[in-house]
Structure 1
Amino acid sequence: MSELTGTMTVYPDPTALADGVAEWLTQLASTKDDVFTVCLSGGSTPRRLYERLAQSPYREQFPWKDTHWFFGDERFVPTDHKDSNFRMVSEALFSKVPIPDGHVHRIVTERPTAEDAAADYDKALRDFYGSSHLDPNRPMFDVMFLGLGPDGHTASLIPGEPILDERNKWVASVAHGRPEARISMTYPVIESSRALAFLVTGKEKTPMLRAVRAGDTSVPAGRLVTSGDIEWFVDRDAAAE
């Protein structure tokens, strides 16, 4: 699949989007017979989703005991830092729902360097998956949530960074392009998902949304190649409708 067209669902606003995606995710998780795996993204749009999942009826309906949670990327900051993705998701979701011990797999940033943190998470993913090689018939994740930056980045696959050419590591550090170092999953493990779910809101995203869905491979998000489903959950502003 060379173009990330997929299915686009347009919501009136970010609040309606959060409610719709919470319903979609809950239904998907509830129909899985075994372990359900979700990879999370940071940002204000996903936060609304996480907050909605922590409320009724999803708090009661979601199969928390069967679900494992991962992070697509993280800033190399302490867990109590205001920019920590783990802190944001903990405040919005993890602290409010009955998630079993060991089902949250965070990127451990209490390491000497971002490279060390990336290597640790790389090993943790391979250990959970049970292999160092990704099987196209056995995706790592059921759902991979992704954002889309105005510059075309997704996760912390930032334009011009060496991580864009990394095909062996599952997780790598990103030293430049942002004020702080990042740790991010690489293309192979992101693509190993039954569904890539993009959450996109705001008028400033419209040009990039159109470009990526039209097959622009000059930007990081446009270089994703997957045999899984592609879901675009966008608000009316981003869709320009």
Structure 2
Amino acid sequence: MVDTIEDISSKGHTAKTGYVLVLSDPNAQADYLASFIMHQAERKKEGTITIALSGGSTPKRLYELLGSENYAHRIPWHRIHLFFGDERMVPYTNEASNFYMVKKALLEHITIPFRNVHPMPILEDVAQAAQLYEQELKSVYHVDRLQVGKPFFDIVLLGLGEDGHTASLFPKSPVLKEKQKWVSWSEPVDAPYKRMTLTYPIIASSRFVIFVVSGKNKAQIFREVREGKKEYPSVAVRTEGEVHWIIDKAVSGE
């Protein structure tokens, strides 16, 4: 009987096999995802709704929409807990910060309890910061070990880099081999800043993993990840729930 998240490695849904939905453009992607999030909140009648947020321009459109009049007062923010999939080790006031982007696009426009927003801590010692964030996750989960049938996240939003990375799981980074920690860090070879990131095990503990990808420049890497012929970090994403790809026509080649 499967009872721990580690057992998902050969049985869960993957980035290669997930459902693909093609929409016209990033605005249509944002519309779809806003409706999806609201629908999931309506379906889950009890308890909290946990969402891991992604950086990027397309998710930013989503957050702006969720903070608009059409959604801000229709979503039960008091039941939603917002986490982050990754973060650059820069101050929260820095425009490179994912938290800064989410704050400006969403948090300043909704009424959400302070305790429901969980930014990644910013410390000079990024390994210590990762430990602190993992402790925070465990305090929310109430168990120190991830369990199948008890997903931590309702929704994990992920992007896709042209090098095949997702969150801050970059190619050739030691974090890709992490099997136990829920949170770790990386230092990209060709991108600035040390990064904190969720790891494969905690991403696997989710009801929905949703890749949000747009732009013609992502078409080739999307195809290669779906084919699974190369060991890109995104290829290794698995979940006990469902994997959805929400892409635009430019990515699909239509």
Which TM class, normalised by the smaller chain length? over 0.9
Tell me, what secondary structure is at the counterpart of 2:243?
strand
Name 1:140's counterpart in structure 2.
152
Residue type at the aligned position of 2:150: R
Structure 1 position 237, deviation (Å): 0.4
Structure 1 position 101, deviation (Å): 2.1
Question: Please, which moves more after superposition, 51-60 or 156-165?
Answer: 51-60
The answer to whether structure 1 residue 127 and structure 2 residue 139 are counterparts is yes
Tell me if the contact between 2:58 and 2:212 (Cα under 8 Å) persists in the aligned partners: yes
The 5-angstrom pairing of residues 188-203 of structure 1 reads: 188-203=201-216
User: Unmatched 5+ residue regions in structure 1?
Assistant: none
Tell me if the contact between 1:172 and 1:184 (Cα under 8 Å) persists in the aligned partners: yes
Which residue among 162, 169, 177 is the counterpart of 1:150?
162
Kindly provide the CA deviation profile for residues 70-97 of structure 1, in whole angstroms up to 9, marking residues without a partner as x.
0010000000011000000000001100
Which residue among 164, 169, 174 is the counterpart of 2:181?
169
Alpha-carbon distance in structure 1 between the residues aligned to 2:158 and 2:51: 11
Kindly provide the CA deviation profile for residues 77-127 of structure 1, in whole angstroms up to 9, marking residues without a partner as x.
000011000000000001100111200011010x23111211110111111
Tell me, what secondary structure is at the counterpart of 1:59?
coil
Structure 1 position 209, deviation (Å): 1.0
Tell me if the contact between 2:18 and 2:244 (Cα under 8 Å) persists in the aligned partners: yes
Structure 1 position 231, deviation (Å): 1.1
What value does the CA root-mean-square deviation take over the aligned residues? 1.2
Tell me if the contact between 1:2 and 1:215 (Cα under 8 Å) persists in the aligned partners: no
Sequence identity (%): 41
Name 1:231's counterpart in structure 2.
244
Q: If the length of structure 1 is used for normalisation, what is the TM-score?
A: 0.96
Structure 1 position 224, deviation (Å): 1.3
Residue type at the aligned position of 2:93: D
The 5-angstrom pairing of residues 180-191 of structure 1 reads: 180-191=193-204
Which residue among 224, 229, 232 is the counterpart of 1:211?
224
Alpha-carbon distance in structure 2 between the residues aligned to 1:174 and 1:142: 25
Alpha-carbon distance in structure 2 between the residues aligned to 1:102 and 1:17: 29
Which residue among 42, 62, 67 is the counterpart of 2:55?
42
Report the count of equivalent residues.
240
Alpha-carbon distance in structure 2 between the residues aligned to 1:175 and 1:75: 10
Q: Which runs of 4+ in 1 moved over 4 A?
A: none
Alpha-carbon distance in structure 2 between the residues aligned to 1:70 and 1:49: 15
Tell me, what secondary structure is at the counterpart of 1:172?
strand
Tell me, what secondary structure is at the counterpart of 1:45?
helix
User: Unmatched 5+ residue regions in structure 2?
Assistant: 1-12
The 5-angstrom pairing of residues 50-129 of structure 1 reads: 50-109=63-122, 111-129=123-141
Name 1:23's counterpart in structure 2.
35
Alpha-carbon distance in structure 2 between the residues aligned to 1:194 and 1:215: 22
Structure 1 position 175, deviation (Å): 2.5
